[in-house]
Amino acid sequence: MAATAAGDRRAFDELYLRHHRSVFGLIYRMTGRHEVAEELVNDVMLVVWQKACTFAGRSRVSTWIMGVAYNKALKAIRQLSRRPTLVEVEPQMAVDPEGPETDLSRRERRERIREAMTGLSAEHRAAIELTYYHGYSYREIALIVGCPENTVKTRMFNARRRLRSLLSQPSEEPTEQRGKSWSR
């Protein structure tokens, strides 16, 4: 990181390759658009290259970079000025298609959750992605999104509540799992 700050292009290349996938993943999951993520990821990396010398080292490099990515993605979503269309979920080939029946209903349930997530705000969805796709703690997420830790906790709690209510709404194809007490 220090070398990147000093203008070392090779160090930057390595930094780029180390973080590219995560940055792309966050923007892609937040915006739901491949081409937007592709473009924004290099906007993020340009900021990293230009501002590396201002990086104070108070946090991990990854949280700083993800913070830049988060803000770029939010801005893009607002510019697109409509709810991002999450990419169609492909069938999960990893699951044994001849597995027990419970596998099927479990898959359906997860699919419904992913569908419901598209109804969340970008901030709520980002909090969930940062926690469950990227594995960050609430303290790290606070650094990334630039708000107090308690706000992150509240935001995540509200996201969960909203998700529950979305899941309790009837969908086109009923599943046997509907009765499950998600809307408690």
Partner 1 sequence: MKKSHERVAELLPWMVNATLDNSEDAEVREHVSDCVTCRDHLELLAELYAAVQEGPSAEVDSFEALDTMRLRLEHDGAAESGRARPRPPSRLVRWVLFAQAAALVFALGLIFFQRANPQLPPTSFRTLADTSPATAATDPQARVLFSEGATERQIRELLHQIGGRIVDGPSEMGLYTVELETDAGDSATVVNRVEALRHDTNVRFVELVSRGSLSPSGG
**Sign (positive or negative) of CA dihedral 102, 103, 104, 109:** positive
Give whichever of 67 and 159 is closer to partner 1, judged by the CB atom. 159
Question: Out of 26, 30, 40, 45, which residue is the one contacting partner 1 (CB under 8 A)?
Answer: 45
- 128 neighbors 159 (Cβ within 8 angstroms): yes
Contact residues for 139 (Cβ-Cβ < 8 A; gap 6+): 149
Tokens for 131, please give them: 């926690």
Rg (alpha carbons) of the chain, rounded to whole number:
19
Within 13 Å of residue 145, how many CA atoms lie on the same side as its CB?
A: 27
* Least Cβ distance, residue 180 to partner 1 (angstroms): 8
* Least Cβ distance, residue 28 to partner 1 (angstroms): 5
Contact residues toward partner 1 (CB under 8 A) are 2-3, 6-11, 13-14, 16-18, 20-21, 24-25, 28-29, 34, 37-38, 41-42, 45-46, 49-50, 52-53, 86-90, 92, 94, 106, 109-111, 113-114, 117, 128-129, 131-133, 135-138, 140, 153-154, 156-157, 160, 163-164, 181-182, 184
